[in-house]
Amino acid sequence: MLAPSLLDPKNDFVFKRLFTQRPELLADLINAVRSDQPSVEVIEVLNPRIDPAELTGKFIVLDVLARDVNGSLYGIEMQVRRQPAWDARSAFYLARTFANQLRSGEDYEDLRPAIAIHLMDFELFDDPAQAHWRFELRDRDQPAVRLTSALQWNLIELPKLDRRHTDIGTLAAWVAYFEHWREDPIMSAITHTPIKQALQQLEELSADEEAQRLAFVRERAQRDEASFLKAARREGQEEGENKARLEIARSLIEQPGIDDATIAQLTKLTAEEIRQLRQSAGA
């Protein structure tokens, strides 16, 4: 086993530090995701800086925005949980990336494709047979007819793809890196040079005390976010259940011959709550 202090490459702070420092590794990851397309070379990471406020912000994903030699833009994100309104958020940021290319006076023909790559440490869709999804603007009834390839989404469900042991190739190797980075037997079996370099880069980053501290800050913020969402869901569920109990009690109050003790037993409401319902109903 590798050292237990090795940082998690799925932590989006760690992910961004890894791939902004080594654009050639980022290009290899992009090419693995889009293996049926011509290989790209990343010439520039457009957002290498990490704002300290981003580390503690809720519902923020630290992305990597890069440009290749042909001007195409790539927004790469590591997501450890599904965000609220995930689909709308994804569409908004990709559309904004695409639109922000055009300066005043420039022609629409100057626009280059904007391509999203989302590596997700959760399962988004129910289909067990597919873990790599690619979306473009196509006709609903004739999906073979594509309106444009200027906007593209690539979604990788990491746990699902990791379970598909029949998958081989560079993408499967990258998935193994993200899912099994601490497991020496698995990592030693990977011969792909960029992944070996990524593991070495991860070891170097993990030895940096400041990087360890910031990774912990980010991890704590993500745990707080998860707790916040869980509490909000629980509060919403409890509110919904209470509304249902009140509606049942109102219906029972309108029925003759049902006393308050019976209503309380059936609805789990207090005697005071039932008394107030009777007063509001004029019963």
State the helix-helix crossing angle for 260-267 and 209-253, rounded to 10 degrees: 150
Look at residues 107, 118, 132, 111 and name the one whose alpha carbon lies nearest to residue 74.
118
State the helix-helix crossing angle for 209-253 and 271-281, rounded to 10 degrees: 60
State the helix-helix crossing angle for 193-206 and 23-33, rounded to 10 degrees: 130
Question: What digits encode the pLDDT tens for the residues 6-16?
Answer: 899 999 999 99
Provide CB contacts within 8 A for 191, sequence distance 6+.
Answer: none
How much is the pLDDT for 48?
A: 92
How much is the pLDDT for 272?
A: 82
CA 117: distance to chain centroid? 10
Q: CB–CB of 115/75 below 8 Å?
A: yes
How much is the pLDDT for 186?
A: 92
Question: What digits encode the pLDDT tens for the residues 71-120?
Answer: 999 999 999 887 767 788 888 889 999 999 988 778 888 899 999 999 99
Query: pLDDT higher for 108 or 265?
Result: 108
Helix, strand, coil percentages for the chain (3-state, nearest 5): 50, 15, 35
How far from 157 is each of 34, 92, 143, CA to CA, in Å?
15, 21, 23
Instruction: Retrieve residue 149's tokens.
Output: 């390839």
Question: How far is 145 from 220, CA to CA, in rounded Å?
Answer: 46
Report pTM.
Answer: 0.77
Please list, residue by residue across 75-89, b when 16 or more beta carbons sit within 10 angstroms of its beta carbon and e when fewer do.
Answer: bbbbbbeebeeeeee
Q: CB–CB of 45/20 below 8 Å?
A: yes
Domain residue ranges in the chain: 12-207, 229-281
Question: How far is 250 from 266, CA to CA, in rounded Å?
Answer: 12
The one-letter amino acid code at 6 reads: L
How far from 230 is each of 83, 85, 217, CA to CA, in Å?
12, 16, 20
